[in-house]
Amino acid sequence: MLTSMRHTAFQVALLILLSAAAAWATLRWHPRAPALYLVQEPLREDEVTMKIIQERWHDDVLWIDARPQDAFDAGHVPGALLLNEQAFEQQLFTYLDILQKNTKPIVVYCSAAKCDASRRILERLKQTLPIENAHVLKGGWTAWQKAAAK
């Protein structure tokens, strides 16, 4: 019984080794070898990355934070305006002067890549006021923090 199990384990190990060798050989010599990196999801039409913000606008944008109040209080992009679903109109009411005078690109962010609040807020903002040059930050607050840490 024990000998048989050892034999099976040896076979499994051998199969794994052979598969790994075949994969390495494919990567090394195959003319169309797959690249070993995560494929970047393409940007959606309304999205910008931190790289775009830094290179194109030198970080000089009007930030809008679409997260809940408690997340905003815990930390936000300096100068960001809090505009979320919970109190959209009341908050927007207080920003009318800023938005009227604003000439900078607007970038809305929420928590991270999976959240959709920034897109919903941007859509609602555009429905309410004639906002131009406004975008969603891909990766949200997490992406901003990573860029700021560099």
Q: Which residues bind another protein (CB under 8 A)?
A: 1, 4-5, 7-8, 42-43, 45-48, 52, 56, 68-71, 85-90, 92-93, 96, 99-100, 115, 127-130, 132-133, 135
Q: How far is the CB of 91 from another protein (least distance, A)?
A: 10
If the CB atoms of residues 111 and 145 are measured against another protein, the closer one turns out to be 111
Give the shortest CB-150-to-another protein separation in angstroms: 22
C-beta of 32 vs 101, nearer to another protein: 101
Taking a C-beta distance cutoff of 8 angstroms, is the pair 74, 103 a contact? Answer: no
Where does the chain show beta strands of DSSP type E? 47-48, 62-65, 81-82, 106-109, 134-137
Burial 112-125 (b: 16+ CB within 10 A, else e): eeebebbbbbbebb
Between 54 and 69, CB nearer to another protein: 69
Secondary structure (DSSP) of 26-69:
HHHH-TTPPPSSPPPPPPPTTEE-HHHHHHHHTT--EEEE-S-H
Cβ-based nearer residue to another protein, 60 or 85: 85
Q: Which is nearer to another protein, 5 or 38 (CB)?
A: 5
Smallest distance from another protein to CB 118, Å = 13
d(C-alpha 143, C-alpha 100), whole Å:
28
- State the Cα–Cα distance between residues 54 and 60, nearest whole angstrom: 8
CB of 54 to another protein, least distance (A): 14
Minimum CB distance to another protein, residue 84 (Å): 9
